[in-house]
Amino acid sequence: MLEEAYYQKADEIIEHYGKKAASLIPIMQDIQAEYRYLPGELLTYVAGQIGITEEKAYSVATFYENFSFEQKGKYVVKVCDGTACHVRKSVPILEAFQKELGLSAKKHTSDDMLFTVETVSCLGACGLAPTVMVNEDVHPKMTPEKVQALIQELRGDKK
Amino acid sequence: MINSREALIQTTEAAKATLASYGCRILVCSGTGCIASGSEAVYEEFRKLAKDDHNVVLEFKPHDEAEHDSEVVSDVKNALGVKKTGCQGVCELGPLVRIQKGDDVIQYIKVKPENCEEIFQRSVRQDDVIESLLYHQGEEAFRGPDDIPFIAKQTRIVLENCGKYDAESFDEYLAGGGFTALQKALFEMKPEEVVDEVDKSGLRGRGGGGFPAGRKWKQVARQPEKERFVVCNGDEGDPGAFMDGSVMEGDPYKLIEGMMIAGYACGAENGYIYVRAEYPMSVARLRKAIATLEEVGLLGDDILGTGYNFHMHINRGAGAFVCGEGSALTASIEGNRGMPRVKPPRTVEKGLWAKPTVLNNVETYANVPKIILQGSDWFRSIGTENSTGTKTFSLTGSIQNTGLIEVPMGTTLREIIFDIGGGLKDGGSFKAVQIGGPSGGCLTEQHLDEPLDFESVKKFGAIIGSGGLVVMDDNTCMVEVARFFMSFTQRESCGKCIPCREGTKRMLEILERIVNGDGELQDLDLLEELATMIKSMALCGLGKSAPLPVLSTLRTFRDEYVEHIVNHKCRAKVCAAMRTFHINPEFCKNCGKCMRSCPVGAITGNREVGYTINSKQCIRCGACKENCAFDAIYVEM
């Protein structure tokens, strides 16, 4: 069972967008922004509140890549692998993150729940390729060497 | 409240007066690129310097004169504006800062917080130029933005305000001529006249298909159903394209004005902008602009007392590339899975909530205000006969000047890559340019002098698409690029129709096989067969265009495919499976560490005779190279 506070937060968000089917995606986005993932129980609750079936809510949530039923790390690192970044060698940067944090193509989140590493298809900062986005901050002209420094900086940030 | 034309004109005049009263404006680029390079810190530093300086009035506004010391205010030369602007263009050289005094503008590049003090003392308080922070080409330094060849050779219509005005300021948008087009449309033109003007301008959709916008508007306007919608596609998903993002974050009011005009022309009262999830700043700036317009009464009911109602909504994407397709996009706004549907009925008949819908992309709407204001004849005077106006491109990859550009339709690739882009990076040689993203193709040397417009690019088996231009040099393997795009479309296929869902998967498998050195010659025929099948049978535009990068590279770079298959050679030295490892006896100390670290026993020898790598057994993992303390292991392609 989730704590009561989760439902209160969900109510607030539902209130903001209105109890209608079209509000589903923005509601899920705000819940995920709040908790860094989409708690399944909460999704069921939202479906009931806005008048759609549970399976409809899940079918939509699983369609879009941004929604996650698993909790993500405090820092969501999105390594851009768009064309411009790919041509300027973004794959070694992804590998550097994975190696440094003990992650792989299957394991995205570090055990200490600090980092989630994903790829993204374009961040729109192609002029500064290769780029990496940490939460909402874009880091330009990355190199595998800079990865280590960035991780250390973020780790220090937590204290 | 601005509830009449007079009130809007008055507000505009006041905004113009404010703008003119600045003795100096410091314009800090706040596009995604420059913010990533640290322009926020530069902005804060300038604000701090201005605040600490009691001789200047920061953010001078004539109507709050009372708040300031009258002596200072009377000398308007002391009024200083520190502003965040939209993308100034040369993203790679950011953070970009412009110092503007009247018509005189100095463009500084790569500005760091520690440079601000000097700029403030020498260029703001005095009229001095700091040579070292100017843009240089060889020995030559360029003072103003319009002197820099990268910018001087462009024609900026959609991007005209980017870099000049505060992107978040309603007043500055007004002062720069904003909302005069809306006034003209609402007070001097009938809705059908607006549609006609756009139709006559020849404006074609800038999102990829190039369908004439005016014809689309006409079709919506004549639907019997009276409830209609205006939708803007800001789901710029093509990797390597960021033009629309730059417009949304750099000039949000212009996009909204264009959509309001479309709403008036087509009889719609609600507008939706669908912005992709990766553009948080576009969402923030659009939200702010909408809130401001609602507050002053320019959005809402009875706009300017004309009885025209228009409401704006923002939807954020959730990471599905396919939502860039029209019917998938409207499905997503409705709260459904973003999957395309069979057409007809088309979006103009049954779009959002099954109502007639005008669906254009960001750049298309951003062209509208200027067309209304200056007329279709003016617009037709730019570009080519069938592709009128300009086109924005994001210029990236192995090129000297990366960034955002806008040129007349019909400009040649050579002009874009060499005159504007400054040629290839690090003196590399031009191999190809990828145009149109995962739905597009490659243009090569032989296309350099062809005009870039909708028709001619299509003739070469590519599309203009949304306008991503990724320049590739000799270090790019075309087979790997084809694999890269196919893995993208395969991952993004929504799975609704079989040709796309299964076809892209099989094509990807074949490409992976070739890249991994296991390809066979007949694979190339198989690829072509599958590509042709998907192209003709997939349900939506994305599926239909998914094989284009493969077809296009197969046509122009077939020899590279053959080399991978027959000779196990990757001439660009990219494909890891084509590598062979060797030991250089000159550096080797016969320590044997490489033999111990090899996971498959491919290295043999002993301390006396030295060691050798058996390339038949070698799995090319690189473990030996990584473990060698003497750098004695080298890679050959």
Q: Is A127 found in the same domain as A55? A: no
Q: Which residues from B are below 8 Å from A131, CB to CB?
A: 36
Whose tokens are 């704006």? That residue is B312
Q: Is A48 found in the same domain as A113? A: no
Work out how many domains chain A is built from and give that number: 2
Cα B370 from Cα B247, distance rounded (Å)? 15
Q: Which 48-107 residues of chain B touch chain A by CB within 8 A?
A: 90-92, 94
- Domain C-terminal end among A43, A63, A83: A63
Answer yes or no: are the C-beta atoms of B217 and B262 closer than 8 Å. yes
Q: What's the domain range around A58?
A: 4-63
pLDDT, mean over chain A = 92
Answer yes or no: are the C-beta atoms of B81 and B26 closer than 8 Å. yes
Minimal C-alpha gap between A153 and chain B (Å): 16
| pLDDT confidence of residue B61 | 57
Answer yes or no: are the C-beta atoms of B593 and B630 closer than 8 Å. no
- Domain C-terminal end among A34, A63, A92: A63
Hey, are the CB atoms on B91 and A67 less than 8 Å from each other?
Answer: no
- Length of chain B (residues): 637
Cα B263 from Cα B565, distance rounded (Å)? 55
A88 exposure class (CB count in 10 Å sphere: 0-12, 13-18, 19+): buried
Alpha carbons within 13 A on the beta-carbon side of B19: 21
| pLDDT confidence of residue B478 | 94
- Length of chain A (residues): 159
Q: Is A54 found in the same domain as A85? A: no
Alpha helices in B546-629 (DSSP H): 548-556, 558-562, 593-597, 623-627
Hey, are the CB atoms on B91 and A63 less than 8 Å from each other?
Answer: no
DSSP helix/strand/coil, B25 = strand
Which string of DSSP letters, residue by residue, matches B522-534?
HHHHHHHHHHHHH
Hey, are the CB atoms on A121 and B321 less than 8 Å from each other?
Answer: yes
Residue in chain B nearest A136 by alpha carbon = B280
DSSP helix/strand/coil, B104 = strand
Residue in chain B nearest A79 by alpha carbon = B278
Q: Is A88 found in the same domain as A134? A: yes
Hey, are the CB atoms on A66 and B277 less than 8 Å from each other?
Answer: yes
Establish if A52 belongs to a structural domain: yes
The encoded tokens of residue B197 equal 């003007």
Cα B478 from Cα B551, distance rounded (Å)? 12
DSSP state of B147: G
Q: Is A81 found in the same domain as A117? A: yes
Q: Which 550-589 residues of chain B touch chain A by CB within 8 A?
A: none
| pLDDT confidence of residue B90 | 87
Name, in order, each residue with C-beta under 8 angstroms of B14's C-beta and a sequence gap of 6 or more.
B62, B63, B171
Q: Is A34 found in the same domain as A103? A: no
Which candidate, B246, B284, B252, B280, places its Cα nearest to that of B96?
B246
CATH number of the CATH domain containing A152: 3.40.30.10
Q: Is A59 found in the same domain as A85? A: no
The answer to whether A32 contacts chain B (CB < 8 Å) is no
Could you list the beta-strand ranges (E) of chain A: 75-80, 115-120, 132-134, 137-139
Whose tokens are 């750049």? That residue is B363
Q: Is A151 found in the same domain as A97? A: yes
Establish if A68 belongs to a structural domain: no
Hey, are the CB atoms on B333 and A22 less than 8 Å from each other?
Answer: yes
Q: Is A81 found in the same domain as A102? A: yes
Q: Which 502-521 residues of chain B touch chain A by CB within 8 A?
A: none
Q: Is A108 found in the same domain as A51? A: no
Q: Which residues from B are below 8 Å from A127, CB to CB?
A: 33, 90-92, 94, 242, 394, 396, 402-404
Cα A60 from Cα A25, distance rounded (Å)? 8
The answer to whether A136 contacts chain B (CB < 8 Å) is yes
Tell me how far CA of residue A19 lies from CA of A13, A51, B272, B298, in angstroms.
10, 7, 19, 28
Answer yes or no: are the C-beta atoms of B133 and B109 closer than 8 Å. yes
Establish if A70 belongs to a structural domain: no
Cα B7 from Cα B13, distance rounded (Å)? 10
Alpha helices in B557-609 (DSSP H): 558-562, 593-597
Name, in order, each residue with C-beta under 8 angstroms of B227's C-beta and a sequence gap of 6 or more.
B269, B355
DSSP helix/strand/coil, B390 = strand
Minimal C-alpha gap between B72 and chain A (Å): 40
Q: Is A39 found in the same domain as A86? A: no
The answer to whether B610 contacts chain A (CB < 8 Å) is no
Cα B198 from Cα B84, distance rounded (Å)? 32
Give CA torsion, residues B236, B240, B241, B242, to 10 deg.
90
Hey, are the CB atoms on A83 and B470 less than 8 Å from each other?
Answer: yes
Hey, are the CB atoms on A124 and B240 less than 8 Å from each other?
Answer: no
Other CB atoms closer than 10 Å to residue B32's CB: what's the count? 29
For residue B396, give the nearest of A21, A67, A127 by CB distance: A127
B309 residue type, one letter: N
- Domain C-terminal end among A36, A63, A90: A63
Establish if A26 belongs to a structural domain: yes
Residues of chain A with pLDDT under 70: 157-159
For residue A83, give the nearest of B278, B332, B437 by CB distance: B437
Q: Is A40 found in the same domain as A20? A: yes
Buried-state track B282-317, b at ≥16 Cβ within 10 A, e below 16 = bbebbeebbebbeeebbbeeebbeeebebebebbbb
User: What is the β-pairing status of strands B580-583 and B610-613?
Assistant: unpaired
CATH number of the CATH domain containing A42: 1.10.10
| pLDDT confidence of residue B464 | 87
Residue in chain A nearest B395 by alpha carbon = A127
Answer yes or no: are the C-beta atoms of B187 and B261 closer than 8 Å. no
Estimate to the nearest angstrom the gap between the alpha carbon of B372 and the chain centroid: 25
| pLDDT confidence of residue A136 | 85
Q: Please compute Rg for chain A using Cα positions.
A: 18
Establish if A69 belongs to a structural domain: no
Name, in order, each residue with C-beta under 8 angstroms of B198's C-beta and a sequence gap of 6 or more.
B213, B214, B217, B265, B368, B371, B372, B376
B524 exposure class (CB count in 10 Å sphere: 0-12, 13-18, 19+): middle
| pLDDT confidence of residue B278 | 87
The answer to whether A129 contacts chain B (CB < 8 Å) is yes
User: What is the β-pairing status of strands B357-361 and B229-234?
Assistant: parallel
Residues of chain B with pLDDT under 70: 59-77
Which candidate, B186, B174, B191, places its Cα nearest to that of B293?
B174
Cα B245 from Cα B284, distance rounded (Å)? 12
